[in-house]
Structures are given as structure tokens and as C-alpha cells.
Amino acid sequence: MVKILYRWQFPVMKSRVLITLPLPTAALDALKQQFDVQIWDQGPMPKLQIAQRAKTTDAILCSLGTSITSDLIRSNPQLRTISSISVGVDHIDMAAATAASLPIGHTPDVLVDSTADLALALMLAATRRIVEADRFVREGHWSADWTTDFFLGTDLSRATIGIVGLGPTGLAVVKRVRAFGAKVIGWNRTEREVPGVRNVALDDLFAEADIVSVHTAAAPETHHLVSANRLALMKPGAVIINTARGSVIDESALIVALSKGKIRAGLDVYEQEPLAKDSPLLALDNVVLMPHLGSATAATRQAMMERACANLIAGLDGKPLPWCANPEVYAGG
């Protein structure tokens, strides 16, 4: 008697992933092997497109440019995870995500050195007027002989540098500027003792520092922490650096202060990104502008991508995210 075995094969449904930004080909190909991927690669993804496509997806892979609202989260209970290629998650309504037991992935601990390096680069560029001088040469203005007041700047070795926010990136900047011989004063929301850093009140920091470098996270209590009043406390010729979040500085007040020529600045982040084409900042010579490049090194971006993908895969497998921004969703689970 011949025994016949029938093997019924049913198609395995791949999890559906919405990717809201262009990805490197290798990373995208790897994700396509595991998931049913739909990708938006036409610039910032419009909110209407996100809302429409989210209805047919199980997970979203995004970055800071994608706004994940409470309405989007509530309207899509099928979502199993959102993975962001970023440390900050202020573009996501975290309260709504946690209330919906939706785990949010992020990529901490890999941006510290690259962001600290950029803060130092902005300090040097702003204090030594590098961008301004480069433009001066390129536009053919360098025709006079050398004079004693030609493009005068500030020595980091003689400067007092104020660090606003003594978290990992702030501490990495402390290490770098101390190597230059700078004096360092600091302020943190929760007072922290750091060797070589003298803790001061925030207003005193702005009044005393030659350079202020901002490294505090975006939060309701840090919104416009750098206010018009604090900018007014800065010394003539002092410099403010921001590689944290744009919302920490009152940008309108900063523009007024810069327009008066009292201070200088080096900025990598803004209240609205991308920076508007009619922003008054673009017309000012005493500010160095960067397009949010704190993490823009090959090694850092690769590490961010790996963590974001690991979070995505874990979430779709029903496992805890390795780098979860709202771990309370697993409480009691």
C-alpha cells in the first residue's frame, strides 16, 4: 500500500512596513527580504500621505522629519511598533503611543561623539569667523594689507565655556574643550558634579561665559530655555552654539540679538526644519548655519540604522525593543 502525503502550502504574509524617508540601498534591500515595504523617497512625507498609508501598515520606520501625531496613533490600532532613526522622539506623541501600548524605538548612545565634534567645530567656526572669512576671500574682497584688527576672533584656550546640559553629549564637549585649556562652567536640570566643571546658576552661566553650548533635551520645561532675557545677559562678542534641539532657544529673540551685532552663533538645529528660505538668519554674517548634521558621519549613521532596524524587527516579532523610548509599555508584561 502506497502512502501518499499531501503538503498544503499557504503563502506567508509578510509584515507591512512604511518607511518615510530614503534609505541606503543595502539597508532597504535587507528590509525588503523580510517585509512588505512601501517607501516614501520624495522629500518630507506629507501628513496626508502618512495618514493614508499608515492604514495599511504594521510598523513605521521614520526619522525626525516625520510627525507621528496622537490622531495617527489612535486611528491605527494595528500598528505594532514605530522605529525612529533618531535619539530624540519629540516628533512622536509619546503620551498617545504609551497609552496605546505602542512601543517606540530610538537610537541612543551612538551620536554622542559625532555631535560633540560638531559642537566643537561650530565653536571654532564661529569664534574664528571661518565661514565669514571664507566668503570674504571667495567674493574677492581680500585686497588690503594685513592689519591688527583683521577678522579678530576668540581663543578657546582663553575662553570660559558654559555647558547647558551635562548629559552624555555635554560631558563629551567638556572633555574636548578642556583639552584646549578652556575654563568650563556648567548647568544641568538636576545638579551634577563633574570634575573640572564649576556649577553655576543658569543666568550666571549666560552672563559669565564667552561661549555657551546647548546640550539639553527638548521637553516642555526646556522650551525657550534660552530666552530673550538670557541672551541679553551675554557679553558683547560672546557666542552661542546649539546642537541640541531648536525649541530650546527662542529663535526670534536670537535673531534680534544677532541682528544687533552683540553676539555670534553656531547653529545645527532650528525651531522649524528645514530652515525657511526667508529666515532672517540667512542674511546674517555672524552666525554659522548647519542643516542638522550632528549625527552625519558614516559610522554614526550606520550605527543608527542598525539600531533602528533591530527595533523594527523586534517589534514586529512581538519582542521588547532593544532601544525603547517608552519601556513602560512593557510594565507587567
Please identify every residue annotated as catalytic. Answer: 245, 273, 292
| Alpha-carbon distance values, 248 to 213, 222, 225, 228, 271 (Å) | 12, 6, 5, 12, 8
Going by pLDDT thresholds of 50, 70 and 90, the confidence category of residue 333 is low
**Fold matches, 16-110+298-330 and 112-137+152-289:** yes
Q: What is the pLDDT of residues 236-270, one digit of tens each?
A: 999 999 999 999 999 999 999 999 999 999 999 99
pLDDT of 29 > 50? The answer is yes
Name the pTM for this structure: 0.89
Backbone angles phi, psi at 59, to 5 degrees: -155, 155
| Alpha-carbon distance values, 162 to 182, 238, 252 (Å) | 10, 11, 22
pLDDT at residue 145 in the model: 79
Going by pLDDT thresholds of 50, 70 and 90, the confidence category of residue 8 is very low
Q: What is the pLDDT of residues 264-294, one digit of tens each?
A: 999 999 999 999 999 999 999 999 999 999 9
| Collapsed DSSP state (helix, strand, coil) of residue 19 | strand
Q: What percent of the chain has pLDDT over 90?
A: 89
pLDDT of 296 > 70? The answer is yes
Average pLDDT (57-80) is 96
pLDDT of 1 > 50? The answer is no
Other CB atoms within 10 A of residue 22 CB: 12
CATH of domain 16-110+298-330: 3.40.50.720
pLDDT at residue 176 in the model: 98
Q: Which of 72, 84, 82 is nearest to 329 (CA)?
A: 82
- For domain 112-137+152-289, the CATH architecture is 3-Layer(aba) Sandwich (3.40)
pLDDT at residue 50 in the model: 95
d(CA 137, CA 106): 43
Q: What percent of the chain has pLDDT over 70?
A: 96
What are the sequence ranges of the domains in the chain?
16-110+298-330, 112-137+152-289
Q: What does pLDDT average to over the chain?
A: 94
Average pLDDT (168-175) is 98
CA 276 to chain centroid, in Å, comes to 18
Going by pLDDT thresholds of 50, 70 and 90, the confidence category of residue 55 is very high
For 101: left if phi > 0, alpha if psi spans -120 to 50, otherwise beta; the answer is left
Q: What is the pLDDT of residues 178-230, one digit of tens each?
A: 999 999 999 999 999 999 999 999 999 999 999 999 999 988 999 999 999 99
pLDDT at residue 146 in the model: 81
Cell of residue 189, nine digits: 536640570
pLDDT of 91 > 80? The answer is yes
pLDDT of 7 > 80? The answer is no
